[in-house]
Amino acid sequence: MLYVPGKRLIVGLLILSSSIAVNVYSAQVITNTVGKTMPSDAAPLERQTYRFLLQEPTTLDISIAVYQAGGAVFSFEGLTRLDENNELTAAAADSWEVSDDGHQWTFHLRRGAKWSDGRSVTAHDFVYTYVRIVDPASANVNASLYYDIKGAQAFNQGQLKDADKLGLEAIDDYTFVITTERPCPYIPLIASFPTSGPVPSWQVEKYGPRWTEAENCVSNSTFKLDSWLHGTKFEFVLDPLYNGPHKAYLERIVGIFTNTDLMAGGTLAYENNEVDYQLLTPVDLPRISSHPQLRHELDISPDFETNYLFFDPNVAPFGDVRVRRAIAHAIDRELICRVVLQGMAEPAYTMLPPGFPGYSDGRFDDLQRFDVKRARELLAEAGYANGRGFPRQELWINRIDNQITAQALQQMLKQNLNINLDIRVVERSAYRAAQFQWQIPMSLIQYHYDYPDPNNMLSMVWHSQPKGYSRHPWANKSFDALVDQAASEMDPDRRIGLYQKAEKILAEDAGAAFIYYDKIASLRKPWIKGIKRDKNGFFPFWGNNTGYMDVYIGSNIE
């Protein structure tokens, strides 16, 4: 209403046109089934379904089987969560603080949080989960992510038998305390990784490996498993019991299983409107980029993933640093990124990608720059002038989309060093088993960050560990000492300086020949809304991740 001083009240609607009045009164606030207010351009609730392709998981037990449970990362809520800028936000914990000595992190859980079966989520659930993660009986290949917890490494590697001596404690139902071996500034980041979400002990103990089947699965996130038709699809729906800060818009998420490697290329399902999102490979890009419609649905965003060649220095000739350096100098990364990968990558000369905390900003690039003359000199110094006497090698890869890069490397090393390589494609589970047992002489592999801290991409990957617990057999005492010192340094600037010194050693000693930093290319239907722009202006949306909390289906659905 309009008020005129000294006059009576005038009903504002009387001076509006009837059409505007109708619009005012017909506007309705729509909420979804968990009470979240939908955006004004959202499609009706019955259309709020998101569909994507994936290879069928063997389990959804992501806390101990992350590689087998990739489709479940949105169904378990950890203590913290990363937003689109990789900054920490509250999740199952409302707040957290660290002790003055940096050894103890205390997390205060959200009151009233429920599992999907109605039980309360408590600190005891997190104690059970974290113990299970590092229990050697779980055979968790990601257990080393948690080695900073007091006693975790000794427990995981069999030296400590009593789980009660681990630095994990529930002070009460809502207070979870992690004690670390040394000051550890990145514990809240580890807590944000999907493997750190809690598991329901009563279901795990009752059903064993089958606890994640649809009839047994209990979760604590905004989505819960509704059905799992093996060989066809699974479906997640909103959980009305979830009371946290990350309620989603989508009513349903449908994962459609495919027998085809997602990295093999092809967009038939997307073009048939069977799915709303499609990852792309370099093979797809030329056609997509020139397609009258699809090119407008294409997104290419940088990713914190590094692709590199690693070597087993315990196997000749890779024990000679001159051989490793020669190979690193013989690779034309610019050509690989521009031509082979169609711009879906950026040349890499070190481990940490651009924009990642601790990135060296090119200061160490010369250590592995493309230099054929220097490469040949180094190989000759190692006793293999022009490749003479160099044993034929197998180059292992674990993803079909890496084959075109592997072929480029094969040709470059033959042309520039007269080294002969055979490419061997290995199924992923067999590859991982061989990798941790140090049975791979040479391989092209990728590492995608778990949390945004140099400890993750340097120490987690490259710190020496016994066979069976380490991704790579490369070891360097100076590197280990620096990353150990950095891990417990609470001053951010000093930490970064120590990590950069360590990264220089890694590149100089050619623990790996770094090839490229990945970019994610994808097709997204125009009705997919809510993907947030990050601080660098990109719209990253990693399929199967926490971005689902913001996504909704727009009203321009076909």
CATH code 3.10.105.10 region(s) in the chain: 303-518
- CATH for 303-518 (3.20.20.370, 3.10.105.10, 3.90.25.10, 3.10.150.10): 3.10.105.10
CATH code 3.40.190.10 region(s) in the chain: 210-300+520-553
CATH code 3.90.76.10 region(s) in the chain: 61-207
DSSP 531: P
Structure tokens at 398: 């674990």
The CATH class given to the 210-300+520-553 domain equals alpha beta
Convert the pLDDT of each residue in 154-180 to its tens digit. Answer: 999 999 999 999 999 999 999 999 999
Convert the pLDDT of each residue in 119-134 to its tens digit. Answer: 999 999 999 999 999 9
**What is the per-residue DSSP string for 132-169?**
HHH-GGG--TTGGGGTTBTTHHHHHTTS---GGGSSEE
User: How many whole angstroms separate alpha carbon 385 and alpha carbon 402?
Assistant: 29
Closest C-alpha to 465, from 183, 154, 129: 154
Question: What mean pLDDT is reported for the chain?
Answer: 91
Convert the pLDDT of each residue in 448-482 to its tens digit. Answer: 999 999 999 999 999 999 998 889 999 999 999 99
Contacts 24+ apart (CB under 8 A), 293-297: 294/267, 294/523, 296/526, 297/523, 297/524, 297/525, 297/526
Tell me whether strands 93-98 and 104-109 are parallel, antiparallel or unpaired: antiparallel
Mention every residue, 6+ apart, whose C-beta is less than 8 A from residue 418.
386, 387, 388, 390
User: How many whole angstroms separate alpha carbon 14 and alpha carbon 541?
Assistant: 48
Confidence at residue 39, expressed as pLDDT on a 0 to 100 scale:
96
What are the φ and ψ backbone dihedral angles of 346, each rounded to 5 degrees?
-130, 135
Query: Among all chains, which residue has been given the structure tokens 């990608």?
Result: 353
Residues in the chain: 558
User: How many whole angstroms separate alpha carbon 306 and alpha carbon 514?
Assistant: 8
User: How many whole angstroms separate alpha carbon 227 and alpha carbon 234?
Assistant: 5
Indicate the pTM of the whole model. Answer: 0.88
Task: Enumerate helices (H) and strands (E) in the chain, giving the number of each.
Answer: 16, 19
Confidence bin at 151 (pLDDT 50/70/90):
very high
The CATH class given to the 61-207 domain equals alpha beta
